[in-house]
A and B are shown apart, each in its own frame.
Chain A
Amino acid sequence: MNPVNDENSTMSDEQQTIQNITDQDYKYGFVTDIEMDEFPQGLNEDIVRMISAKKEEPEFMTNWRLKAYRQWRKLKEPKWPKLEYDEVEYDELYYYAAPKTKDAPKSLDEVDPELLETFDKLGVPLEERELLAGVAVDAVIDSVSVATTFKDKLGELGIIFCPISEAIKEHPELVKKYLGTVVPYTDNFYATLNSAVFSDGSFVYIPPGVRCPMELSSYFRINASKTGQFERTLIIADKGSYVSYLEGCTAPMRDENQLHAAVVELIALEDAEIKYSTVQNWYAGNKEGVGGIFNFVTKRGLCAGARSKISWTQVETGSAITWKYPSCVLKGDNSVGEFYSVALTNNYQQADTGTKMIHLGKNTRSLIISKGISAGKSNNAYRGLVKVNNKAENARNYSQCDSLLIGDQCGAHTYPYLEIENPTAQVEHEATTSKVSEDQIFYLNQRGISTEDAVGMIVSGYAREVFQQLPMEFAVEAQALMSVSLEGSVG
């Protein structure tokens, strides 16, 4: 029973409205009934070998995976985040699940129509002519990429945009050179697990001097039950190139917790720029906190070359548990790292998210804008590290980490770590906490705007700096998503 119901008698109209808003349903919660190819439950060296064999990988990959697997067996799940959850039974998961097809589809015409329909329902039409102009999509369901659009057009510019499984076969030299260089297989419990068992994900390579003419986008979906999803994304922007990349995520509603442990590695060479945006809307569990995705993700970008720039933008509204810290290693002189985040938690969701900005090169700059929104009985923590190495002359960082609380049952936490070893650094961190005030709601009411809309407007206004970083069409989607995710939250 929803504990809030006990208080119905004393609930004001405003609380009721908020309740109503927050009671809306997760609209991506359907399950697609497709025949699946699944490996046996559990994890051992054989499963790792089977995944590698299934993907027809070269030996270096199989060995890399095995090294990662052996390392993972030695590691323990981290306990430091401000998260509480039942332990994941790693040996009861399925580590490979894929829609059954005879061969990989050569074109969209060969993709199972049921799958295309799934992505249609999700608002990710894969048919190229229907696509939003200028967005190429790689769609990943459970463990494999099912379709990548606009490949040919991009190919003309020398841009490689394909499933990583394909890149391992077609472009082993690039994969071998860069895979694991930013997130080594020893990095952390989840990344190490991912290194052993990842089955698919996206691969992007932008050749020198090329400005990618369209948004590249991955769409991740977990469909199968009891599976873990472990995608791996690798993006390389060669000298002087530019790419903007967006990922979106959804999953069906199930009352079990599902594991998602992805790794994203970005490499920006001299003068290159990568803009990586995420709209994460994995199933968050129901109002009592049953079910939902455990989202343990390692995302890191390396500004390898001088004057390179990596910018992370994330809108995190889904998942029962979010653990992710998209980070930038600012190695190149004059390189720039940015992190813009909106994390919204409602009901029993928990998020521990933030970033790390590691300043190694001279004149490196970083910016952190984090907007946490806590509602319901959720807990939302910002955890971030700004580290200025002894050799990093004239580093600059500015961090602004704000929390908005909706209701008095939730928690908002800020854990910034500033480690400064160079006197020429200028580092500044600020954080504030605010609430959606009754005065603001009344003011908007008095102008004819409903409480529901008023809360949506106030929250969007609060998160605006971050939305502005998103590509236009996704900014609109993200705002809409916020309102839906806020259902039942004000009181």
Chain B
Amino acid sequence: MAENTKQLANWIQDQLQADHDQNFALSAQTRAASLKILDAGVFPTRKDEEWRYTPLNTLLDQNIGAAKSDVPNADSIQTFKNAVPEAHHLVFINGKFSESLSDDLDSVKESGYTVKLMSQLTSDEQLQAEGTIRDAKLSDDNIFQHLALGLSQFGLFLDVANHTEVKTPLHLLNVATHEASTSLTNPVNVIHVGVNSRLKVIEQFVSLSDAQAVTIPASFMALEEGSGLEHFKIGLESDSTDHVSNTSVQVGANAHFTSHQYLLGSRLTRSNMEVGFAGPGASTTLRGIYLGDGTQHLDVRTYLDHAHPHCNSDQHFRGILNDHSRGVFNGLVLVREHAQKTDAKQSNKNLLLSRDARVDTKPQLEIFADDVKCAHGATVGELDEDALFYLQSRGISKEDAGLMLTRAFAAEITEDIGIEPVQEYVEANISSRLNELSLANV
């Protein structure tokens, strides 16, 4: 083990020792490689190009306590469920599936649609789930992903058979409840969407009161030919929460993957999304907002691998940074040789609302094919003074004008959500966050 006195590293070591008497989400075979990497215990530092703007000190110093098993009462989470009224709700308390708070798993099932806890998979299902994980081409450097793969006890497997449209969206509500000590949650979720099938998944991360948590989820998604998956992530965790997520997506020929990320909470969030195209005609739309206040640190990384011709990607992320918060956008579009007729768009716009807010953005292109359309753009600025003045001249206070313009800035992303109640919920949360901000500098 590398010399490392960090709490998280110690916790990992403890888990590695205690390994044998626990139930893990994945098979020993799949876990083995990850355990080796965990044992080496090398965490990235800011010298690593991919972590240049995001220090991990606070996260690594979290003192992880034993998992609490008491379940909160249903009322306390109802408001989060209301985000997606017409959905199947599955609730996870500190990572663990709560049967009492969730819809009946049997009622969730539609024909051709499997929703199962990782721990309850048949051996065939487990083979399939772990196959999807292996297809994701894991990197040894991504220790957080291995933390989930190697040590996760929880996770969910969603499988949509070929030619199946799942009508009801699935709402995964992750609730953190620890207050006295920090909970660590590292679920592994696998989503497989069959040929020409459709699925919508809304993942929400929330805290009860001021819960302390380290959340390190790893998700693996595979879209077969002609299929569609819409994935929404809403982060509303308390400012005692650190969140490092890894999402790996393989998009088959003519399939379309949509991702929306709304990072509104937590102390530190690092959201890494890697999308690979596995066949021609695949496409993806990525949207996101990171809204920071206080000393929040919100980092979005995207990595798009255009490995086949005629694939399109369209990314648009916006940052709103207030107070001492920091935003990071680190996006890379790779267009491999032979990926002709690629159309890749990448846009990142940032609004700095205070003197001490900061944004670092790095929109990157690596292109090895000539007949492609690739464009990226990034902007950083404050609110448009002319627009502010215009609103003021119509009798609106400067502060309200600032709020209006900031909301409008965010709305250009949220208007693409496409599920009305979810859009309303996200916009309401953005508004209430903005109302809390002291827009002193506007």
Contacts and interface: CB of A to CB of B under 8 A. Distances in A.
7 contacts: A405-B370, A408-B338, A419-B358, A419-B359, A420-B360, A422-B352, A425-B381
A488 interface: no
Interface string B364-379: 1111111111111111
A410 B376 CA distance: 20
Interface string A226-245: 00000000000000000000
Contacts of A431: 363, 365, 374-377
Interface residues of B, number: 38
B367 A416 contact: no
A435 B340 CA distance: 12
Chain B CB count within 10 A is highest, among A420, A421, A423, A432, for A423
B353 interface: yes
A412 B378 contact: no
Contact of B364 (A409, A414, A421, A426): A414
A433 B360 contact: no
A426 B362 contact: no
B365 A414 contact: yes
Interface of B: 49, 53, 337-338, 340, 350, 352-382, 441
Given A418-B380, A420-B352, A425-B380, A430 B362 contact: no
Nearest to B376: A431
B366 A413 contact: yes
B352 A405 contact: no
A425 B381 CA distance: 5
B293 to A, nearest CB: 14
Contacts of B369: 405, 408
B141 to A, nearest CB: 15
Interface in A395-419: 403, 405-419
B364 A416 contact: yes
Given A427-B380, A431-B377, A407 B352 contact: no
Contact of A416 (B337, B362, B370): B362
Nearest to A413: B366
A431 B364 CA distance: 9
Contact of A435 (B53, B356, B371): B371
Contact of A413 (B338, B364, B371, B379): B364
A422 B353 CA distance: 9
B367 A411 contact: yes
B364 A415 contact: yes
A413 B362 CA distance: 13
Contact of A430 (B354, B355, B366, B375): B375
A420 B362 CA distance: 11
Contacts of B380: 388, 418, 420, 425-427
Contacts of A468: none
Contact of B337 (A408, A414, A415, A422): A408
Contacts of B49: 80
A433 B373 contact: yes
A427 B382 CA distance: 10
Contacts of A422: 352, 355
Interface string A419-455: 1111111111111110100000000000000000000
Top-5 shortest CB links A-B = A423-B352, A405-B370, A433-B374, A414-B365, A420-B380
